[in-house]
Amino acid sequence: MFELTLLCPEERVDAVSEAFDALDALSVSVEDADAQTEAEQALFGEPGMPAPRQAWSSSRITALFATQAAAQEAASLLAAQDFFAGCEVAGIAFVAEQDWVRLTQSQFDPVRITPEFWIVPSWHEPPAGAVQTIRLDPGMAFGTGTHPTTRMCLRWIAQRGASGGQALGRVLDYGCGSGILAIGAAKFGGEPIDAVDIDPAAVQATGDNARANGVQLHAGLPEQAQGPYQTVLANILATPLKVLAPLLCAHVAPGGHLVLAGILERQAEELQQAYAPWLQLSVADSEDGWILMTAHR
């Protein structure tokens, strides 16, 4: 197989993607061409906010073709179209045939949260000493426990929940992704638990993962969250977290806790300022340049 990669401005992404479908591409993916740079952008949408953008200002589009000739023909045909203005061909590369399922499985080992708490994929046995586990496989929604932000949230849940289920109380996981934080809260005694996300695929994944782990929670869209909650969890990104400050703070019950992640160390002060009218945030944990921020009402 061969992949054809293009660089396109935001306004050309839809037209180019549709053209790839017409050219019988096996798959088409769109990524931020500025990923891992200062120009990297986060795309998001929240209730009451403008509709989320569908592409990045500078997007990388990758299409997979069965043969090199098909990839080259697609590149030639696209270059001749008016809508290709502003786009450029970044290259055509050979992609080796692989057992993608086995490759994915080999890259996803059990993830240690604490010595006794682990995230374990379905094809692995729990490590020795694992008292509490979450069974979770890679899927369509973010959150497999491999990212520092997820691990820090789960550590906080484990530490808080170690003193008993009442410590977590009623829980809201806002932007639940795979549901991993909500499931972790359930494992450590939190109840009842609401897990919400703007992405229907995430809502579906959360429900499926909860059933696979034998825990009870309610998964739905953000407007279904009805506070107050003793514990409010949000592992998203700094920019949407700032926008969501009044909403998230309003969900925290008296005596409750707000737990935020997806924040870089250099973003701590701007988050504190954004939440200052409602709650006082402080840094509770850090790992690999990321921080966990919490507040107590």
Helix axis angle, 148-161 relative to 180-187, nearest 10°? 20
Is the link from the previous residue into 228 a cis peptide, with omega within 30 of 0? yes
Q: Phi first, then psi: give them for residue 43, nearest 5 degrees.
A: -100, 130
Distance from C-alpha of 42 to C-alpha of 168, rounded to nearest angstrom: 30
Does 48 appear as a known binding residue?
no
Does 175 appear as a known binding residue?
yes
Does 209 appear as a known binding residue?
no
Does 150 appear as a known binding residue?
yes
Distance from C-alpha of 166 to C-alpha of 174, rounded to nearest angstrom: 20
Structure tokens at 254: 């008296």
The pairing of strands 58-65 and 290-296 is unpaired
Distance from C-alpha of 120 to C-alpha of 158, rounded to nearest angstrom: 16
Annotated binding-site members: 150, 175, 197, 235
Annotated binding-site members for S-adenosyl-L-methionine: 150, 175, 197, 235
